[in-house]
Amino acid sequence: MTSTTTEPRYRLWQNPGWGSAIVEAQLAAYGLPYDLVTAGDIYHDAAARAALMRVNPSAQVPTLELPSGEAMGESAAMTLYLAEVTGRDDLVPAPGDAPRPAFLRWLVFMVSSIYPAGHFADAAERLVPEAEVAGYRAKVVAERGQLWRMLAEEAARRGGPWVLGDRFTALDIYVAVMTRWQPGRAWFAAELPALVRIAEAVAARPELRAVFDRNAR
């Protein structure tokens, strides 16, 4: 995103299609000025990892540098912070709003349960002995599918079109990004088509279309 103003800017360390797309979409939705910094292959490129660690010692993507110079990790923290700093409830229900407890519950569920399951499946070779990798990965993949089903059941219970019913929130942005990851959009289309409908509706929103086009993979 470019701007000719001198308004303080955010810097988002990102890679296309990674979790940084969740934060980029929120910056775009709020109309905040930001620059993108490509993190690169932080798992196999020592120079790329070292560059990010100078900003965030945890070497996380996303990392968000605030206009103050402070850096944040953790997309859920960024989600809550951006809503707070803008003073808006577009993406995060405000304290006292009826959907807020459910929003907080499912936000934490997505980042603490579904998100790590993908990491554990991808990193199976580093976590268990070689002879156990296939069985371990299969169990994690099955558990991840069940977690997604829990979220889909919540959306169905609320009657759509969004995760929290008629209220569009950052949860829908998470769905739009994360359903592009393993087990893949074809799996979601076959098993949980309601989540694909949410994802496609988010990506088609005028204020977010460019972000999702750029992060498509």
The pLDDT assigned to 2 comes to 47
- Residue 73, CB half-sphere, CA atoms under 13 Å: how many? 9
The region of weakest confidence among 29-38, 126-135, 140-149 is: 126-135
Phi/psi-derived region of residue 165, left when phi > 0, alpha when psi is between -120 and 50, beta in every other case = left
pLDDT above 70 covers what percent of the chain? 97
Q: Are 93 and 99 in contact (CB under 8 A)?
A: yes
Tell me the percentage of the chain whose pLDDT exceeds 90.
Answer: 82
Residue 3's pLDDT band (boundaries 50, 70, 90)?
Answer: very low
Question: Above 70 in pLDDT, residue 87?
Answer: yes
| pLDDT for position 157 | 96
Tell me phi and psi for residue 30, to 5 degrees. Answer: -85, -10
Q: What backbone phi and psi angles, to 5 degrees, belong to 50?
A: -65, -40
Mean pLDDT of 162-181: 97
For residue 136, what are the contacts with CB-CB under 8 A and spacing of at least 6? Answer: 124, 127, 128
> Structure tokens of 162?
């969004």
- What are 22-48's pLDDT values in tens digits? 999 999 999 999 999 999 999 999 999
- At CB < 8 A and 24+ separation, what contacts does 200-208 make? 200/176, 201/161, 201/172, 202/25, 202/172, 202/173, 202/175, 202/176, 203/176, 207/28, 207/29, 207/31, 208/25, 208/28, 208/29, 208/173
Rounded to an integer, what distance in angstroms lies between the CA atom of residue 64 and that of residue 169? Answer: 20
Give yes or no for a contact between 213 and 23, defined as CB atoms under 8 angstroms apart: no
* Domains of the chain: residue spans and CATH: 10-88 (3.40.30.10), 100-203 (1.20.1050.10)
Q: How far apart are CA 121 and CA 205, in angstroms?
A: 32
Assessment of whether the complete model's pTM goes beyond 0.85: yes
- Examine the pLDDT at 5 and tell me if it is beyond 70: no
Average predicted confidence (pLDDT) for the chain: 94
Residues 74-100 have a mean pLDDT of: 97
Q: What pLDDT band is residue 171 in, cutting at 50, 70 and 90?
A: very high
Whether residue 57 has a cis bond before it, omega within 30° of 0:
no
Token pair in block for residue 121:
């499946």
Q: Which of 127, 44, 3, 7 is nearest to 15 (CA)?
A: 44
